[in-house]
Chain A
Amino acid sequence: AQRVTQPEKLLSVFKGAPVELKCNYSYSGSPELFWYVQYSRQRLQLLLRHISRESIKGFTADLNKGETSFHLKKPFAQEEDSAMYYCAPQGGSEKLVFGKGTKLTVNP
């Protein structure tokens, strides 16, 4: 069964500190992986996708197939990064499966 785990419901860091939001997945085959973000009072939106190998707003995500992880990282957190983050794998033509989310708070 498809499963995605974000072990931290809440994560708090200080401005300028590195941040890592963890995501582990259990999937048959090789899913594509995404991170979605929801800023306060805004709708969810795509942050980045693994297939694009991109860096968005300073965030990157590394796929580790051996550990089946797709952790989201940023070397220097900013206050505007405070948001809810969702990891979402997708296998083939199936629907996305969202993790339960991690609420990131970046303190001044």
Chain B
Amino acid sequence: DADVTQTPRNRITKTGKRIMLECSQTKGHDRMYWYRQDPGLGLRLIYYSFDVKDINKGEISDGYSVSRQAQAKFSLSLESAIPNQTALYFCATSDLGYAQETQYFGPGTRLLVL
């Protein structure tokens, strides 16, 4: 779904470096999410935002921060990258309808921390 884009798609960085992953959406959704995916651990929520002024920690927020610059943009930062942050990162958006919520995912950013 090209309505949710992530940049970069792949990134290699070194331990201790600060990096930012960006997510943009043209779906007009209020809700945005950042997940990481690791083999055997599935999908884990890092941070989420229900609107521009709302930021919430997920289950694994330590070592990460986010910024919701606009309804359409939600950035994830690793202030000081470490090797166990090597993972596939997904951004998602949703627009809560009555009793149901479909999340639309970006293509993912593959991050390798050396």
Q: Given A34, A92, A100, which contacts B41 in the complex, CB threshold below 8 Å?
A: A100
Instruction: Say whether A43 contacts B108, CB under 8 Å.
Output: yes
Please report the C-alpha to C-alpha distance between residue A100 and residue B37 in the assembled complex, in whole angstroms: 9
User: Is residue B1 contacting chain A, with contact meaning CB distance below 8 A?
Assistant: yes
Q: Within the assembled complex, what's the spacing in Å between the Cα atoms of A43 and B33?
A: 14
Q: How many residues of B contact A (CB 8 A)?
A: 23
On chain A, which size bracket covers the interface? Answer: 20 to 34
Interface segment, B18-26, B61-69, B70-78, B95-103?
B95-103
A96-B107 contact given A44-B43, A86-B42, A86-B43, CB 8 Å threshold: no
Q: Is A93 among interface residues, defined by CB-CB distance under 8 A?
A: yes
State how many angstroms separate the Cβ of B52 from the closest Cβ of chain A: 17
What is B's interface to A at a CB cutoff of 8 Å?
1, 31, 33, 35, 40-43, 45, 48, 90, 92, 94, 96, 99-103, 105-108
